[in-house]
Structure 1
Amino acid sequence: MTDLAVRDSGMGVGTPLLLLHAFPLHAGMWRAQLDGALGEARVLAPDLPGFGASPEPAGEPALDTWADAVARLMDAVGLERAVIGGLSMGGYLAMAFARRHGDRLAGLLLADTKASADAPGALANRERIAAAVLARQSVALLLEEKTEDALLGSESTPELVAEVRALIGAANPVGVAWAQRAMAARPDSFETLAQLTVPAAVVVGEHDVLTPLADAEAMASALPDAELTVIPGVGHLSALEAPAAFNAAVTALLRRVA
């Protein structure tokens, strides 16, 4: 799993930023961060295995496997260190990367995510979805259950809703099932966060119902050097719903890293 497809804004100045996408989307969700809005920073965004243009994952589901794949991607594109950022599932993966490859971490961005492990109800729901998409060999279930309603705030435009549905619909059933089971198996990451010394930013949408403000506050409190940003009026996909506010928080982090 070394051949992750990656979107790359090209050469830039300062420490590069590597962004990890949410479930069940792909790297296309970072369009407003890859288009130059973050100034001269080099921005990279891989499709995780089974999403976008990357091949299906293999082996026992574990976010550590993906964290190692991200490290190999960095090797392939010549990055010794980077600011690692993730939203939702991408945040879980960013924390796994920090645990396994902390020496390669120049800064950490955690958006609309949480450091705690899943509760029993969430674990059961992940397995339900994983089994269903594999049995049907289709991710239509995610669209039938209107997954986008949990991901987006109530003020989202019809155009954004349609974009998110298209991102969801492009997912691979094997990738969706593997990701659900990998997320279910992830450990609590508060100890990892407490040991980090790099600058960190925690971002959360005001109306995020999946990983609400309390989760963001807990991560910001655990991190030794973190700034918390609450983006008004948006839900779980803050980078898509309020790109200007999201990018301002990211730019502030990159300045602190510099």
Structure 2
Amino acid sequence: MTVQLYARDVGTGTPLVLLHAFPLSSAMWLEQRQGLANRFRVVTPDLRGFGGSRLGTDDPSVDLMADDVAHLFRRLGLQRAVVGGLSMGGYVAMALCRRHPDLVLGVVLASTRAAADTDAVRANRLRQADAIDGDGTVRVLLDEVLPGLVGPTTYRQRALVYGRVRGLVQATPAPAAAWALRAMAGRPESFETLRGLKVPALVMVGDEDELATEDEARAMADALPNAELLVIPRAGHLCAVEQPDLFNQAVAEFAAALARTTR
């Protein structure tokens, strides 16, 4: 059953729906709301269990997270939008393209991958989920996930950005984190979805990202019929947070071009 997602909704113009990374919330999109709302209607939901959205009692599923987003479209009266997802948000965006393609005007896939988890990655996610259930905290995420979220340049030169990311991870509700880990572990691969996509796509990756690599970004761009690939310099996994100006410029150009062709 879908849950009603809490969402921040600012600006006017072509709708831009941005789906956040794990284990953060829509708070990660602060600079996108500030930088893009003068040209677009920027909608940033909290995926279920995160931020202001409740978790519900359903079994973990990325498909269900995509259905939640489709439900949000209907609630907000959005017919179609440019849908962007970073990391886990990218998995949800690809599931939305598969399950609700009529809602998607274009897609931005940042710091994500179309392949399913390897056995080792899946086992690691499930172990982390069990650890969270076991002690009721997200300590395992601070120890194991946080270090990979930003690149070395951010560690060295952007202490405030790193501190903000750490705060967002610490604020993650433990039940939501465990649920999302299991949902991601069980997701299918999405290459078939990408090959069948009828709308333009923008694939982005930070050049210091070790969680979703440039090779994986290139594989997605190659599978998509109409895609451009952008490598963002001096950025790790959270390229939208680490290099917001470059990210916003790329998304604005992509969305503005789409808006022109669909008038």
The bucket for the TM-score relative to the shorter chain is over 0.9
Equivalent-residue separation in structure 2 for 1:19 and 1:57 (angstroms): 22
**8 A Cα contact 1:38 1:251, kept in partner:** no
TM superposition shift of 1:96: 0.3
Q: Which residue of 1 aligns with 2:70?
A: 71
Partner of 1:104: 103
Alignment of 1:17 with 2:16, yes or no, is: yes
Match of 2:152 in 1: 154
In 1, Cα distance between the equivalents of 2:187 and 2:228?
25
* 1:38 shift after superposition: 5.4
Q: Structure 2: which 5+ runs fail to align?
A: none
SS in 2 for 1:216: helix
Q: Specify the code of the residue in structure 2 equivalent to 1:232.
A: P
SS at match of 2:115: coil
Aligned residues between the structures: 255
8 Å Cα contact 2:26/2:46 also seen in 1: yes
Asked if the contact 1:206–1:233 (Cα under 8 Å) also holds between the matched residues in 2, the reply is: yes
Could you tell me how far apart the structure 2 residues matched to 1:197 and 1:256 are?
A: 16
Identity, % of aligned pairs? 49
Correspondences of 1:1-258 after superposition (within 5 Å):
1-10=2-11, 12-13=12-13, 15-37=14-36, 39-145=38-144, 147-156=145-154, 157-258=158-259
Contact 2:19-2:86 at 8 Å conserved across structures = yes
Shift of 1:53: 1.1
Deviation at 1:197, TM superposition (A): 1.5
Task: Tell me, in whole angstroms, the C-alpha distance in 1 between the residues paired with 2:201 and 2:185.
Answer: 25
Question: Distance between the aligned counterparts of 1:211 and 1:256, measured in 2?
Answer: 27
Residues 97-153 of structure 1, C-alpha deviations (whole Å, 9 max, x = no match) = 0000001110000000000000011011100110110111111221233x2220101
Question: What TM-score do you get using the length of structure 2 for normalisation?
Answer: 0.94
Letter of the aligned partner of 1:6 in structure 2?
A
CA distance in 2, matches of 1:45, 1:239: 13
Deviation string 1:3-43 (CA, Å, 9 cap, x unpaired) is: 21101114x12x20000000000000001110143541000
For the aligned residue pairs, the C-alpha RMSD in angstroms reads: 1.1
Structure 1 gap segments, 5+ residues each: none
Counterpart of 2:149, as a letter, is L
For 1:57 and 1:154, locate their aligned partners in 2 and report how far apart those are by CA, in whole Å: 37
Q: CA deviation at 1:224?
A: 0.8
Does the CA contact (< 8 Å) of 2:62 and 2:95 recur in 1?
A: yes
Q: AA paired with 2:73?
A: M
Residues 185-231 of structure 1, C-alpha deviations (whole Å, 9 max, x = no match): 11110010011111110000001000010010000011111111000
